Amino acid sequence: MYTRIRKSGDLMRTSYGLAPTRRGLLKGAAAGAAALAGLPARAATNVDFMGWFGYEAFLEADDFLAANDMTMEKTFINAPEEIVARLRLAPGEVDICVPYFIHLDFMASEGLLQPIDTSRLTNWPDLMQPILDISRENMTYEGEWYSVPFTWSSIAIVYNPKFVPEPPTSWLDMLKPEYVGKITIPSDLPSAFSTWGRIATDAPEPNLMTHEQLQQTVDFIIDMKKNNMRTLAASYGEMVDMLAREEVWLCQGGEAVMAWVGETPELAIAYPEEGCMTFVEGWSISAGSKNPDAVYKLLDQSISVPGQLAGAAFNGMPVTNGKAIPLLDEWNRGAYPYDDIASFFTTKLRVDPMYYLEPDGVHATWDDYILAWEKILKA
């Protein structure tokens, strides 16, 4: 059990606020100097980013963009499927992106991504071997890497010990009568079906359920939504707000949720015996990237020690570069099992496979899962 011991909210806001200001000053100074010399200012290389809010912190540490004469256009996503859609429709509008790691095989097979030459990444040798081992099956295709792992997380039970004195040992503990109206889960299709598909059915792989098993899971979550939850949180942000106000006492979320809530209330995390979903986040290069050389610099920056520390501080998430661990803050070093990551992944976490893409008459497809989630949201 881990508890929050340091508030990171102010640090997160400060980090995000100062970096653009410094970049603006540097760009303004460069333009002014060029004008005084009677020469036009050199245009910076623009890179188009698409991914989750906050992940850009891994790329921007130490004013990396300004120092390398880059600018970045950012498109923040609400669901990983948005990246697939954008790369299919307008690959030239994306340079660097963060696909959901179980999507990478089929995205590579469809030619949506470029293979990554890891020899161009000076910090690649510093990535921890357990992270590479857990990532390899999903992040490689035909022997080549298509993503660079820069952080990871789990989906477990975050709870408030003030109201939940005994650490939960099963996902079903969230459904105890004393917690009715005091639980929530976020609007997150992958984690919802991965978590509750294991509880509602006998499916060995919740991403590979039959149509009947998928319907059983839908019915289970709808019943939980109506009879146990305070509400189904529209976002992780809404869930964090409810935890902070102590409106909910238990939720489905990762270690970083404790950091996002802040110093109070003091929260803890439990890993239920049924297992927890895990994911590894990685940067990928769009097949239509206009600036692959610039992207390689950003990839290397994201797994450098400064990039890892900045991203970890901003997001409350773990690092993948082993050299960064001794320099992390006390909370981060305590929240993640850096001393035995391999065992943590194999005993507490589960890596789910990709959904079926085409119907086989038995199993639900990815499209079926998306439609099923819409049914849950509307219930």
Going from the N-terminus, what domains does the chain have, and what CATH number goes with each? 9-152+279-328 (3.40.190.10), 153-277+351-378 (3.40.190.10)
Residue 251 zone, left/alpha/beta (φ > 0; ψ -120 to 50; rest): beta
Can you give the pTM of this predicted structure?
Answer: 0.85
CB contact at 8 A, 311 and 321: no
The model's confidence at residue 29, banded by pLDDT at 50, 70 and 90, is very low
CA quadruple 282, 285, 286, 287: dihedral sign: negative
CB contact at 8 A, 251 and 239: yes
41 backbone dihedrals φ, ψ, rounded to 5°: -65, 140
- Give the model confidence (pLDDT) of 209-234 as tens digits: 999 999 999 999 999 999 999 999 99
Q: Which pLDDT score is estimated for 44?
A: 84
SS3 372: helix
For residues 284-291, average pLDDT = 97
Q: Which pLDDT score is estimated for 42?
A: 52
The model's confidence at residue 10, banded by pLDDT at 50, 70 and 90, is very low
| Cα gap 97→63, rounded to integer Å | 20
Cis-peptide, bond into residue 265, ω within 30° of zero: yes
Q: Which pLDDT score is estimated for 20?
A: 27
Distance from chain centroid for Cα 96: 15
The model's confidence at residue 149, banded by pLDDT at 50, 70 and 90, is very high
Q: Which pLDDT score is estimated for 78?
A: 86
For residues 246-269, average pLDDT = 95
Given a cut of 90, is residue 16 above it in pLDDT? no
CB contact at 8 A, 318 and 334: no
The model's confidence at residue 58, banded by pLDDT at 50, 70 and 90, is very high
| Cα gap 118→116, rounded to integer Å | 6
| Cα gap 243→251, rounded to integer Å | 8
| Cα gap 167→328, rounded to integer Å | 27
For residues 301-322, average pLDDT = 97
H or E element at residue 349? strand 349-350
Given a cut of 60, is residue 177 above it in pLDDT? yes
Given a cut of 60, is residue 18 above it in pLDDT? no
Q: Which pLDDT score is estimated for 306?
A: 98
366 backbone dihedrals φ, ψ, rounded to 5°: -55, -40
Q: Which pLDDT score is estimated for 14?
A: 24
For residues 263-290, average pLDDT = 96
Q: What would the two tokens of residue 285 be?
A: 């290069």
The model's confidence at residue 155, banded by pLDDT at 50, 70 and 90, is very high
SS3 59: helix
Q: Which of 7-16, 232-241, 302-311, 317-326 has the lowest mean pLDDT?
A: 7-16
**Average pLDDT over the chain, rounded to an integer:** 89
Secondary structure letter of residue 8 according to DSSP = -
